[in-house]
Amino acid sequence: MADRDRQSLTGLTEGEAQEFHKFMIQGTLGFGAVSLFAHILIWMWRPWF
């Protein structure tokens, strides 16, 4: 029973850590997609090459 309730150094359980990781990856991919889109729009407006 103690193994099931054991927490890591962060205080998160295994399930909570996996859920946090899933949202972190989704947020990173979303930010990257928006950033890529913005760079494409700016490059179409004023190409820097």
Burial of 17 (0-12, 13-18, 19+ CB in 10 A): middle
- 12-19 long-range Cβ contacts below 8 angstroms, 24+ apart: none
pLDDT at 30: 98
If you average pLDDT over every residue of the chain, what do you get?
A: 90
The pTM assigned to this predicted structure is: 0.72
Distance CA 25, CA 33 (A): 12
pLDDT at 7: 66
pLDDT digits (tens, 9 = 90+) for 9-32: 889 999 999 999 999 999 999 999
